[in-house]
């Protein structure tokens, strides 16, 4: 499986190449509001050093959210452009799920938190069994304090960007840094489940408070 993977849903901006399911190279760093400028540069660097031809790819994997409104649009737009150019599918990868994959958590249930703004974070529980994990419930967006109040006893927290908001908790806390490497690995492992061949109307999973309110009213 040959996959090009993109992460822009968070302050991390990255692009990684997988050949035959194995990581070949990655360009990645934490940026602030320069994803649109840096992502094409990273792609060109990766293409030149790996002799990448987009036609060799089985798909473009992209971190689909939840996450930064602007970052998600940048990543998906760039991924769509590459996929359109050679008629290959997209693989939208849930951002929180890719974060969990990168931490290799112990067995049991974990909660993954991704900072949104102020004291708000996206949160999703996962049941971890060996190298496999499944979602529990649904993704919620609320204050970190509210996430902690609803946290079942004995489960670990994996997070990105919530350091200060979690500084006083007694719960086991592990930093989970988003990465294009995790996006690509999940895309390779779950290709058949995630692939989207008709992706023209595919939108990021913004998971905003406004969007949640709309869903509840339906």
pLDDT tens for each residue of the chain, 218 residues long: 999 999 999 999 999 999 999 999 999 999 988 999 999 999 999 999 999 999 999 999 999 999 999 999 999 999 999 999 999 999 999 999 999 999 988 788 999 999 999 999 999 999 988 767 899 999 999 999 999 999 988 899 999 999 999 999 989 999 999 999 999 999 999 999 999 999 999 999 987 644 444 443 33
Check whether residue 101 and residue 169 sit in a common domain.
yes
CATH value at residue 41: 3.30.420.40
Count structural domains, the chain.
2
Check whether residue 31 and residue 56 sit in a common domain.
yes
Check whether residue 152 and residue 53 sit in a common domain.
no
Alpha-carbon gap, residue 203 to 197, rounded angstroms: 14
Domain range holding 51? 3-95+178-217
Q: Within the chain, where are the H helices?
A: 35-50, 69-86, 95-103, 144-149, 180-189, 191-194, 209-217
Check whether residue 81 and residue 157 sit in a common domain.
no
**What is the bridge-based pairing of β-strands 3-7 and 59-65?**
parallel
Alpha-carbon gap, residue 190 to 88, rounded angstroms: 17
């Amino acid at each position: 499986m040959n996959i090009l993977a993109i992460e822009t849903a968070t302050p991390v901006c990255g692009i990684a190449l997988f050949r035959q399911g194995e990581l070949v190279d990655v360009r990645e760093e934490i940026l602030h509001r320069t994803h649109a400028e840096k992502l094409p540069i990273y792609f060109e660097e990766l293409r030149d050093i790996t002799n990448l031809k987009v036609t060799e790819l089985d798909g473009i994997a992209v971190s689909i959210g939840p996450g930064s409104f602007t970052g998600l649009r940048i990543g998906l737009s760039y991924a769509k452009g590459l996929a359109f150019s050679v008629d290959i599918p997209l693989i939208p990868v849930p951002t929180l799920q890719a974060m969990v994959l990168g931490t290799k958590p112990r067995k049991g249930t974990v909660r993954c938190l991704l900072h949104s703004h102020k004291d708000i974070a996206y949160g999703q529980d996962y049941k971890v069994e060996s190298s496999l994990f499944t979602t529990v419930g649904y993704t919620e967006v609320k204050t970190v304090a509210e996430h902690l109040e609803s946290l079942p006893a004995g489960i670990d927290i994996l997070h990105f960007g919530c350091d200060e908001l979690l500084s006083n908790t007694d719960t086991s806390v592990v930093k989970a840094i988003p990465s294009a490497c995790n996006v690509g690995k999940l895309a390779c492992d779950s290709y058949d489940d995630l692939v989207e061949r008709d992706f023209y109307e595919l939108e990021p999973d913004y998971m905003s408070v406004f969007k949640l309110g709309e869903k509840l009213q339906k």
